[in-house]
Amino acid sequence: MYLTIKGLAKSFGENEVLKNIDFAIDKGKVISIIGPSGSGKTTLLRCLNTLEQPSKGLFTFEDGLTLDFSKKVNKQDLLKLRRKSGMVFQSYNLFPHKTALENVTEGPLIVQRRNKKEVTKLAKELLTKVGLKDKMDLYPNQLSGGQQQRVGIARALAIQPELMLFDEPTSALDPELIGEVLRVIKDLVNEGWTMIIVTHEIQFAAQVSDEVLFMDGGYIVEQGSPDKVIRNPQEPRTKQFLDRILNPGEY
């Protein structure tokens, strides 16, 4: 397995948001995380790259890197973990005073200190890949929400991560713009990227995922293939959630 998570927990004061989370992901596979708001999905994703530091839990990577958050984790290991993943946020998180191209080159140039000529070439290729060849010199406020999110995806790809993390990448978009972002993600799936996607787009999750995790109340209630979790759920809470999402007119 590329990454194995065991016993992951996260508390904010007395509020236990994640409770004993176990799962694993292999190289080139896609996991989608679904569930109601407040179930811990985003916190789980943020723990995976330590935007939120876990209260406890064991992270084991196939290259031998192991982090045990029940103890003090050294800074070098934290840096190694952070370098492995690229994050796409639901609210884009672009620098408003930088162009699309500058947003994509920022991480590789400033954080990774890579060669400017090579990074600029890569950034242009990535923006072309996500359909923004003619928008490179525009600022975020000159772009639609869907275009901003595609810049966010190019920015995450530019650091050349091993793992792509998507935190509800379409939740801030108008319905007509959702498709353009999902198409880009689908292209990445077809290219074999290792990805974990938090999403409310249930049908999309069913199409692209190797595994689906349904979360509620800080727990993984059900996990398995899309056929098992989405099309034939076993747990009553999973059935109730999916019925309300897929048949909203009945409520």
194 to 40, 81, 164: CA distances (angstroms): 21, 15, 6
How would you class 79 by CB atoms within 10 Å of its CB: exposed for 0-12, middle for 13-18, buried for 19 or more? exposed
Structure confidence by residue, pLDDT tens digits, 93-115? 999 999 999 999 998 888 777 88
For the four alpha carbons of 184, 189, 193 and 197, in that order, the dihedral sign comes to: positive
For the four alpha carbons of 73, 79, 85 and 87, in that order, the dihedral sign comes to: positive
Structure confidence by residue, pLDDT tens digits, 9-49? 999 999 999 999 999 999 999 999 999 999 999 999 999 99
81 to 64, 93, 105, 168: CA distances (angstroms): 12, 21, 21, 22
Q: Which two tokens stand for residue 96?
A: 């408003």
Give the mean pLDDT of the chain. 94
Inter-residue contact 148 to 94 (CB < 8 Å)? yes
What is the structure's pLDDT at 251?
Answer: 52
What is the structure's pLDDT at 223?
Answer: 97
Identity of residue 1: M
Q: Give the position of tokens 């194995």.
A: 4
Structure confidence by residue, pLDDT tens digits, 103-147? 999 988 887 778 889 999 999 999 999 999 999 999 999 999 999
Domains of the chain by start residue, with CATH? 21-48+88-250 (3.40.50.300)
Range 151-157 average pLDDT = 96
Q: Which two tokens stand for residue 40?
A: 């811990």
What does the angle CA 109 – CA 110 – CA 113 come to, to the nearest 5 degrees?
A: 55
What is the structure's pLDDT at 114?
Answer: 85
Structure confidence by residue, pLDDT tens digits, 201-237? 999 999 999 999 999 999 999 999 999 999 999 999 9
Q: Is the pLDDT of residue 238 over 60?
A: yes
Helix (H) or strand (E) holding 165: strand 163-167
Q: Which DSSP symbol is given to 74?
A: P
What is the structure's pLDDT at 250?
Answer: 61
What is the structure's pLDDT at 113?
Answer: 77
pTM score, whole prediction: 0.94
β-strand pairing of 66-68 with 15-25? unpaired
